[in-house]
Amino acid sequence: IEAEDKVFIKESMEGANEADVAALLDELDMQEALYVLRVLDDELAADILIELDEDDQFKIITSMEHTELAALIDHMDSDDAVDILNQLGVNEREDVISHLQEKEKSAHILDLLRYDEDSAGGLMAKEFIKANQNWTVVQTINEIRRQAENVEKIYSIYVVDNKERLLGRVSLKRIILSAADTKIADIFEDDQISVPTHMRQEEVAEIMRKYDLESIPVVNVKNKLVGRITIDDILDVIREQSEEDIQAMTGLSDDVEESDSIFRIAKARLPWLLIGVVGGLMGAGIIDFFEDGLQKVIALASFIPLVAATGGNVGIQSSSLVVQTLAAKSVFSDTPWQRFIKGFLIALVNGVVLGGFVLAVVVFVYKHEFIFGVTIGLAMFCVVLLASFMGTVTPILLNRFGVNPAIASGPFITTANDLLGLAVYFGVAMLLLNL
């Protein structure tokens, strides 16, 4: 394909969908991808650039001339343009913007760059159709015609008053089905579901999901309509969020992908592994402390992994349920106190079952003394209660301090649980076995 056959590339690419071409370019090296983009016309190249992986995007935009990049950005929606520009340094960014042809677009972009990337303002685009409530259907259609070039997908048309304040929305379907001289004021729906510019993107996603919206208007503090967010951006937000949660739970400290370099992946994994190792070494300290007792009843050592593993599993289970509830942001009917009691009761049930099971196996299968079985069983019971308590409380605390609560299921808390579990285990053993 890469035999410099410009005409062939151009023809074959122009029939294809931009997402498919982007997937193809992801496979090529940077020079080849850049070459292909330069052969294509600007509008198609802009669409493809938006669809690329962030890593590839970065490589390509940093090796393009600023005028060349500006020509592509002229063909992008303002929100996509801002995503691209946010990857550049401040000076380069300004230089690229100064090369833009469309003055309206550069004003939009400068406006959007002011918002936090993770807020509704950072997600929204300036391209949308709005209609004054006093317009007729014909006037609105003319506005649609005027904006047809800029606004690729129209979902709802937002209705505003003379001061540009959001009043509601009217669907294209409604426009088509109404007589030409109908006033917009008579046909629009006045449900004002909108989000303020400063709302966090996760909350926007949750609202759009709850109300089944494919686009949502964004308003400023004066309820003035300033932009709209479309569902395709929200899908990316949801996907990012679930990846972040899983990474937090599995202790990857950095956003890595399997295709990254060996050292980058190794580096992303090391911090949490080191924390685990330090925890393990502290655990060694705890066991050392009980070495005399251990020397007398060597069989105690055999059940260390059992106690540690159960503590870890219980902790992760409890925290994941809490994290899930926190993420769903459903109205909390339970107070923290009620949740604590409930968690305690669940742990009680599981603790009794597991403790009893372990007692039975230790006494009847492993043929240890009864008091030894009671020791292991009771230790299990205490560890289940403790780990469940930690697993419930930690994510709630983390959430209150604004930290992603999914971390609570990660190695840090698991390690802390392990240490507490060990201390409890040996404590119980010392007491019951008189060591």
Residues whose CB falls within 8 Å of the CB of residue 369, separated by 6 or more in sequence, listed in order? 363
Site for its own copies in 223-282 (CB under 8 A): 231-232, 234-236, 238-239, 242-243, 245-247, 249-252, 256-259, 262-263, 265-266, 269-270, 272-274, 276-277, 279-281
| Residues whose CB is less than 8 angstroms from the CB of residue 37 and which lie 6 or more positions away in sequence, other chains included | 25, 45, 48, 49, 60
Q: Does residue number 308 form part of the binding site for its own copies (CB under 8 A)?
A: yes
Give 8 or 357: the residue with its C-beta nearer to its own copies: 357
Nearer Cβ to its own copies (110/265): 265
Residues paired with 183 in a beta bridge: 136
Q: Does 144 engage in binding with its own copies (CB under 8 A)? A: yes
Nearest to 47 by CA among 26, 17, 7: 17
Distance CA 114, CA 216 (A): 20
Smallest distance, its own copies to C-beta of residue 325, A: 4
Nearer to its own copies, 132 or 178 (CB): 178
Q: Which of 122, 217, 283, 405 binds its own copies (CB under 8 A)?
A: 283
State which of residues 1, 19, 138, 403 lies at the interface with its own copies (CB under 8 A): 19
365-394 binders of its own copies (CB under 8 A): 365-366, 380
Residue 139 within binding range of its own copies, rule CB under 8 A: no
Query: Nearest distance from residue 361's CB to its own copies, in Å?
Result: 6
Nearer to its own copies, 173 or 222 (CB): 173
**Interface residues for its own copies in 179-208 (CB under 8 A)?**
191, 193, 208
The residues in 78-117 that bind its own copies, with binding defined as CB under 8 A, are none
Site stretch for its own copies (CB under 8 A), options 1-9, 103-111, 160-168, 173-181:
173-181
**Residue 146 interacting with its own copies (CB under 8 A):** no
CB within 8 Å of 316: residues ≥ 6 apart: 391, 409, 414
115, 128, 155, 188: residue in contact with its own copies (rule CB under 8 A): 155
State the minimum distance, in angstroms, from the CB of residue 415 to its own copies: 6
138 binds its own copies (CB under 8 A): no
Contact 245, 404 (CB under 8 A): yes
Residues 28-47: x/- map of binding to its own copies (CB under 8 A)? --------------------
Choice between 9 and 193, CB closer to its own copies: 193
**Amino acid of residue 295:** Q
Among 2, 67, 87, 299, binds its own copies (CB under 8 A): 299
Residue in 148, 397, 403, 431 binding its own copies, rule: CB under 8 A: 148
Measuring CA to CA, how many Å separate 424 from each of 286, 409, 435?
11, 21, 15
Candidate ranges 81-89, 93-101, 179-187, 324-332; the one touching its own copies (CB under 8 A): 324-332
The first and second tokens of residue 245, run together, are: 């949660």
Go through the chain and tell me how many residues it has. 435
Cβ distance 265 to 255 under 8 Å? no
Least Å distance, CB 8 to its own copies, is: 21
The answer to whether residues 433 and 293 touch, using CB atoms and an 8 Å cutoff, is yes
Question: Residue 366 or 370: which CB sits closer to its own copies?
Answer: 366
